[in-house]
Every structure is written in C-alpha cells, then in structure tokens.
Amino acid sequence: MKKIIWVALAVVMIGLIVGAFTYLYVFRKADISVASKKADIEIKASDLLKKFTDDESSANALFLDKVIVVDGLIDSITEDSTSVSVYLKNPEDIAGTQCGFDKTAIDKSMIKTGDIIRIKGICTGYLMDVVLNKCSIEK
C-alpha cells in the first residue's frame, strides 16, 4: 500500500512540474523587444497615416505586425500605471500615430511636446489613429 502512495505522489509531482513548464514556455509568451529588432519599414508618421486613410486594407497588408520606424512631431505624451503613450501628429492632420511604450522602456525627461522624434514599434492596425505597440526610441 505504501508503494502505491509513493508512486501516486511521484506522478502528481511530475505532473505539476510538466504543467509549470508548459505554462511558462508555451502559454506565457515573452514580450518582444523591438529595440534589438531590425526595422522592416521606415516612414514618416504623416505618410503612414495617409496610407491607412487612403486604403486601409492595402496598408494592413503592408504594415500590420511589422516592425516600423516612424519619424514625427510629438503632439502629446500620456501616462498610466504601466505604460506611456506618445502621440505623433502634425498640426494640420486630423488623426495621428499612437505609440505605446512600457514604462520601463522610456525616459520621459528626454522628450517633450513639440520635439521631432524617431520611434520603432510594431504596427497593430488603424482605429482612429495608427497604433504602434512595444515601442522604443531610435537614436
């Protein structure tokens, strides 16, 4: 009887270990750091917006899920508990490009409204603005 208990306990422990590894390496994907990735496309933020407003479906085919470097004028900077958003927009445009940063990936003291900046991020689509996520500032 004791042998059966030890075998059952060993099976449960092995199951827990396999379950933990499965969770960590299969279901919980690590964030991609775009800072070390090569950009697929370099474009001005206003040109990127124009491509999406002119023909969203072809722009999705070109830009969606690609690493993009955009140059643009900072219209606003907002912050919440975990992230910082930098909004690139020319004064004459109605919409712009929303660039989302993890709070640890950006030093807000280095940027201000009105600066021209170069940002690398992953294009996740077009809502009212073009959206880039997991961004980093390019030198």
61 and 108 share one domain: yes
Give 75's Cβ-side CA count (13 Å radius). 17
Residue carrying the six token digits 């090569």? 38
Number of domain units in the chain: 2
Both 89 and 123 in a single domain? yes
| Beta-sheet pairing, 130-137 with 116-126 | antiparallel
Residue 105, Cβ neighbours under 10 Å: how many? 17
Q: pLDDT digit string (tens) for 46-98?
A: 999 999 999 999 999 999 999 999 999 999 999 988 889 999 999 888 999 99
Q: For residue 136, what pLDDT is reported?
A: 92
Tokens of 56: 């969203």
Give yes or no: residues 49 and 99 share one domain: yes
Same domain as 75, residue 122 = yes
* Domain interval for residue 113: 34-137
- Same domain, yes or no: 92 and 26: no
Quote the crossing angle between the two packed helices 45-54 and 56-63, to the nearest 10°: 130
